[in-house]
Amino acid sequence: MGVRVSVVIRYRGNSVITVALVNSGYESDIPEIHLPLSLARELGLPLERLRAERYRVVGFGLHCYF
């Protein structure tokens, strides 16, 4: 069962308080954080060199940017 917790995400002097989904069963070899593009823009992350990959999840597909 996924759990939602309040988190502060910081990037170069900018910070945003948001909610994160944890304990969802997702596993990775490296630490990852997945952000909506609107939140990445709010933090000031550089988006001009992102590349997209399409993922298929239950019920629909989506694009993730790296």
How far, in Å, are 5, 19, 39, 43, 58 from residue 8 at the CA level? 10, 9, 12, 11, 29
Residue 13 carries which DSSP code? T
Summarised one tens digit per residue, pLDDT across range 15-64 is 999 999 887 777 889 888 888 889 989 999 898 888 888 888 787 888 78
Q: Coil, strand, or helix at residue 9?
A: strand
**What pLDDT is attached to residue 19?**
94
**What pLDDT is attached to residue 59?**
78
**What pLDDT is attached to residue 9?**
93
- Does 4 have pLDDT greater than 90? yes
